[in-house]
Amino acid sequence: MTLEFENESGTELGLPLEETARMVIEAALDELKCPYEAEVSLLITDNARIQEMNRQFRQIDRPTDVLSFPMIQFDQPGDFSFLEEEEPEECFNPETGELVLGDIVISAEKVLEQAEEYGHSVKREYAFLIVHSVLHLTGYDHMVPEEAEWMEQRQRQILEQLHITR
C-alpha cells in the first residue's frame, strides 16, 4: 500500500501519525477484502484549512473533522469486482499498478477536541476518522439509518481488531 502523507497542521497529536494511518488503512482494506494493493492520500491540516475545503467542496462554511474525496464511484459499496471491467488508467496508478482510492483530509484540532469531548484517546479518534473515511472511499455512506448502522458496526469492528478502543 502507498500512503501519500502530509502533515501541515502544526498541531501535535502525540502519536506516530503516518505509521498509525498506514496500519489503520491496511486493516480497513483487509476487512473490506480489497483484492488490490491501494494508494491513499492523507492530509492532516487545521480547522481553518478544512473549513475552506468544506466550503469549497460541500458548500458548508464551518470546520469539520474529516473530508473524504473518493477517486472511484462504486456501483455497490465495497464491491471491487467491477474494476476488472474498467480501463486500468481509470482506477489504477499506471506507475505502481495500485488502486487509487482517493484522498482523506483530517483536522488535527478536531481530533483533539473530539477525543476530549467523547472521552477517549487521541489515537482512537484519529483512527476512527481514518476508518470512517476509508469506508467512504470504498463507496459506503451513512445517509440512511441502515447504512449509518452498518458503518458504525464496521468501524467499531475494525478498531477492535486493532485494539484501539474507547
* pLDDT tens column, 106-154: 999 999 999 999 999 999 999 999 999 999 999 999 988 999 999 999 9
- Per the annotation, does 136 bind a ligand? yes
Predicted local distance difference test score (pLDDT) of residue 85: 77
Among candidate residues 85, 84, 66, the one with its CA nearest the CA of residue 134: 66
DSSP class per residue in 111-145: HHHHHHHHTS-HHHHHHHHHHHHHHHHTT---SSH
- The count of other CB atoms within 10 Å of the CB of residue 45 is 24
Classify 76 as helix, strand or coil: coil
Q: Please check the confidence at residue 12 and state whether its pLDDT lies above 90.
A: yes
Predicted local distance difference test score (pLDDT) of residue 83: 87
Instruction: Summarize the confidence of residues 17-27 as an average pLDDT.
Output: 98
Predicted local distance difference test score (pLDDT) of residue 86: 64
- Per the annotation, does 142 bind a ligand? yes
24-75 pLDDT, tens digit each: 999 999 999 999 999 999 999 999 999 999 999 999 999 999 999 999 999 8
- Per the annotation, does 120 bind a ligand? no
Q: What is the pTM for the complete model shown?
A: 0.96
Predicted local distance difference test score (pLDDT) of residue 143: 87
Predicted local distance difference test score (pLDDT) of residue 87: 65
